[in-house]
Amino acid sequence: MGMTITEKILAAHAGLDSVSPGQLISAKVDLVLANDITAPLAIEAFAKAGAKEVFDRTRIALVPDHFVPNKDVKSAEQAKMMREFAREQEIVNYFEVGEMGIEHALLPELGLVGPGDLVVGADSHTCTYGALGAFATGVGSTDLAAAMITGALWFKVPESIRFVFNGKPGPWVDGKDLILHTIGDIGVDGALYRAMEFTGPVIDGLDMDMRFTMCNMAIEAGGKSGIIAFDDATRGYVEGRAQRGYTVFASDPDATYAHEKVYNVDGMEPQVAAPHLPSNVGPVSRFKDVAIDQAFVGSCTNGRIGDLRTAAEVLKGRKKAPHVRLIIIPATQAVYRQAMAEGLFEVFLDAGAAISTPTCGPCLGGYMGVLAEGERCIATTNRNFKGRMGHPASEVYLANPAVAAASAVAGKIAHPDDL
């Protein structure tokens, strides 16, 4: 019987000819990552285990991105703990302020993750790397410590769900809309502990930035991972970038899936997720005239250069509404530099936006855009749970960069064509 791409990657890393869903395996990992919130817990567990050295100082990535540049003393202490551990262990892939970026944009950009890899990270959105044809999933900080010590972890092989996208969506629709539509259909636990395999003609036509967005939000459907098979777009991204050799895997024609979902997205509008669940999804036309106080373009979901270009296309020659705060945060230093070189910053500044150095910032209610009681934000982030970006009585609407930018101009949720 054939295997899915996910099963093939797990089998290869476990040294097995085949695996099947539900099977418990011990598998070697290609990369272990953590950030300034999760690394300190892992470092403490590392010390309690009596470990002296990491398994491979080139296979660990530590990225301070959530509360940096440090917003307060506590965040400074967390970053210091990670910095000192990186220095003590001679971690090669430690990225300091000024060179770091949001981890899930930075590591693929630097070629630290490649097709066929098995990656674990102490952050739920580690599933982003599935866009490269890798198996990538989030783990707890204790599990991360074990991976740092041994270079391996145990896994339960997940079932896979196949999502097929057909048709031609309407204008201003991108990967964010496809994944929001999917989550709206199956719910926030619709893919619980399952690998979400995205395929079909619409997926084939997505650029890598949009694919990263889709896989990034697999966790918002409860998924263990999200994955898109290697193709010419993937090859174009990784060649000249990958720091290690890679192996390409593909699902067999007779692979077994838990089930398959087929979507016809002909004429689909941009999608919006209303408070307080990523599954509370509908077309943008349903939410027109919902007034906003803030618009945010950025995060590990939508802070890449393609996202910024889209926002700039909508904002060019326009001003944000007087009562709206527009915050734009490039995901990495390279994205920051490229956006500046392309003149996108001039567009943003002319529109009245505030531009930040790379950071997760307001996505998790950290800083750089925390919401007060009663305030409403439209954001390109991945979660809109109660209190996610600030006060429990604030509201977050999720949308793609074009809709977020259009809403900033209109002062209310808007379709870009409405401008």
Contact between residue 409 and residue 320 where contact means Cβ atoms under 8 Å apart? yes
Tokens of 264: 């016809």
Q: Which domains does the chain have, with CATH numbers?
A: 5-262 (3.30.499.10), 271-418 (3.30.499.10)
Q: How many CA atoms lie within 13 A of 69 on its CB side?
A: 4
What is the residue whose two structure tokens read 């490039």? Answer: 330
What integer pLDDT is reported at residue 365 of this predicted model? 87
DSSP string, 159-209: EEEEEEEES---TT--HHHHHHHHHHHH-TTTTTTEEEEEESHHHHT--HH
Question: End-to-end alpha-carbon separation of the chain, Å?
Answer: 53
**Angstrom distance (rounded) from CA 235 to CA 245:** 12
Strands 93-94 and 60-63: parallel
Q: Cα 213–216–217 angle (5° rounding)?
A: 95
**Number of CB atoms found within 10 A of residue 317's CB:** 8
pLDDT in tens, the chain (419 residues): 899 999 999 999 999 999 999 999 999 999 999 999 999 999 999 999 999 999 999 999 999 999 999 999 999 999 999 999 999 999 999 999 999 999 999 999 999 999 999 999 999 999 999 999 999 999 999 999 999 999 999 999 999 999 999 999 999 999 999 999 999 999 999 999 999 999 999 999 999 999 999 999 999 999 999 999 999 999 999 999 999 999 999 999 999 999 999 999 999 999 999 999 999 999 999 999 899 999 999 999 999 999 999 999 999 999 999 999 999 999 999 999 999 999 999 999 999 999 999 999 898 888 899 999 999 999 999 999 999 999 999 999 999 999 999 999 999 999 999 99
Is the alpha carbon torsion for 407, 412, 414, 416 positive or negative?
negative
* Other residues' Cβ atoms within 10 Å of the Cβ of residue 107: 25
Helix, strand, coil percentages in the chain from 3-state DSSP, rounded to 5: 35, 20, 45
CA angle 394, 399, 401 (to 5 degrees): 120
Decide if 165 contacts 260 (C-beta within 8 A): no
pLDDT at 217: 97
Cβ partners under 8 Å of residue 15, min gap 6? 28
Q: How many CA atoms lie within 13 A of 401 on its CB side?
A: 29
Q: Is there a contact between 9 and 32 (Cβ–Cβ < 8 Å)?
A: no
Q: Which of 145, 127, 144 is nearest to 136 (CA)?
A: 127
Report the distance separating Cα 41 and Cα 122, nearest Å. Answer: 10
Helix (H, G, I), strand (E, B) or coil at 229: coil
Report how far residue 253's alpha carbon sits from residue 3's, in angstroms, rounded to the nearest whole number.
9
* Count of C-beta atoms within a 10 Å radius of residue 201: 11
